[in-house]
Amino acid sequence: MHGSLSEAGPAAFFAAISTAFSTAAVEIRVLAFRHMAEARIYVVEDEPDIAEVLAYNLRKEGFEVALEARGDAALEAIRRERPDLVILDLMLPGVDGLEITRTLKRDAATAGIPIVMLTARGEEVDRIVGLELGADDYISKPFSPREVVLRAKAVLRRMQPGGDGDGAAAEREVVSVGQIELDTAAHRVLVRGREVTLTATEFRLLKLMMERRGRVQTRSRLLSDVWGYAEDVDSRTVDTHIRRLRRKLRDEADRIETIIGVGYRLRE
């Protein structure tokens, strides 16, 4: 088969390719890759060695990287030039990472910026508080630079249209369960007619659970399908996001049921 395609020339070869892949899907994947490669990442880390290693590895993947060692200076810079992602250490001079997260998430102009926290192993309470405040993910020190790059890509991928990874163009789709209405194309959620503001991760989590309503979703399955991570990631990430989601759903919060020792289910 390869020989016949080669003999037929490039036109036949590309015609064969087009029958296997949708042109629209290919274009979306190319654009998504290009957007991710051009993403601007702000690394806020006061340890110079760690900051430089992270910057080197992120730049090697094509990202634009800015470094800042002080929390107060980082806040000013982020407000001045909005990045696509912030990688944020918690222990910082000037303003600590938790206060930065709280400030960014309270401001409508910066609330949508995804945040990945860098935490020491002994900072579990701070880690949970950070997730509660709106951080999208955390990485415990010590970590490999490759892990940070992969996590950054996963978070950025979730922020993109069509970020579910199916390559399909975003279509207007409204999913309703009870008094919860989710509009995929508009990235909008209404609860009993009132709009609620969700982060990209919260929106993706709710969308998945609404689409799989009535079925139990294990923590490991949610980590894989929502975050794109392996099962060895701390399940507190899932639990904290579910808790945050319930709080935002208000009167519809009880629709998310906890299946003890297993995971969660969104009831009809």
CB atoms within 10 A of CB 182: 22
Mean pLDDT (the chain, rounded): 81
- Model confidence at 230, pLDDT cuts 50, 70, 90, reads low
pLDDT band (50, 70, 90) for residue 99:
very high
What pLDDT is attached to residue 36?
A: 57
Name the pLDDT band for 137 (thresholds 50, 70, 90).
confident
Positions of E strands within 72-225 = 85-89, 115-120, 137-141, 174-177, 180-183, 188-191, 194-196, 217-218
Token pair for 183? 């509009």
Does pLDDT of 23 surpass 60?
no
Buried b (16+ CB within 10 A) or exposed e, 101-115: bbbbbeeeebeebbb
Strands (E) across 3-52 are located at 40-44
Task: Answer yes or no: is pLDDT of 165 > 80.
Answer: no
C-beta atoms surrounding 227 within 10 Å: 21
Residue 110 has pLDDT above 60, yes or no: yes
Give the pLDDT score at 184. Answer: 86
Residues in CB range of 71: below 8 A, 6 or more apart = 44, 92, 93, 94, 95, 96, 97, 99, 100
Share of the chain above pLDDT 70, in %: 77
- What is the predicted pLDDT for the residue at 119? 84
pLDDT one-digit tens code per residue, 58-89? 999 999 999 999 999 999 999 999 999 999 99
The larger pLDDT score, comparing residue 34 to residue 237, is at: 237
pLDDT in tens, 233-268: 556 788 888 998 999 999 999 999 999 988 999 998
Residue 207 has pLDDT above 70, yes or no: yes
Q: What is the pTM of this model?
A: 0.64
pLDDT of amino acid 172 = 53
